[in-house]
Amino acid sequence: MNQFWHRAKAVAEVPDDGEERLVVLNLEQGSPLVLLGSAAAIWELVDGTRTENDILKELTNIYVGAAESSMGDHVRNFLAGLSFHGLAQIKDSPSNHPPR
């Protein structure tokens, strides 16, 4: 079954202009999380319209030459971390209104 990754509703995002860095915060819980490099790239792809496999495919296009198997582990673990921190969640259907 394909499941789609969505950002949680009470999440604030602050990009750092000119940097590959984002700060995200679940406004209802937790502390800010600073995302750098591939973590920021993954966050940008979590828009409610992509599955884990979709995110992995797009990320391997961004980071050409990276081993897909190790990138797959990175994506899986990072998405699990976003879920743990209340920043993203899995749903059975895609979003009709992606962020931005």
Q: Where are the domains of the chain?
A: 4-89
Q: Which residues contact 45 (CB under 8 A, 6 or more apart)?
A: 54, 55, 58, 59
Predicted confidence (pLDDT) per residue in 14-24, tens digit: 988 777 789 99
Q: Model confidence over 33-92: pLDDT tens digits?
A: 999 999 999 999 999 999 999 999 999 998 888 777 788 999 999 999 999 999 999 999
Instruction: Name the pairing type of β-strands 33-36 and 88-91.
Output: unpaired
pLDDT value of residue 84: 93
Which residue has 């990320």 as its token pair?
59
**Considering the domain 4-89 in this protein, what is its CATH number?**
3.90.930
pTM of the model: 0.85
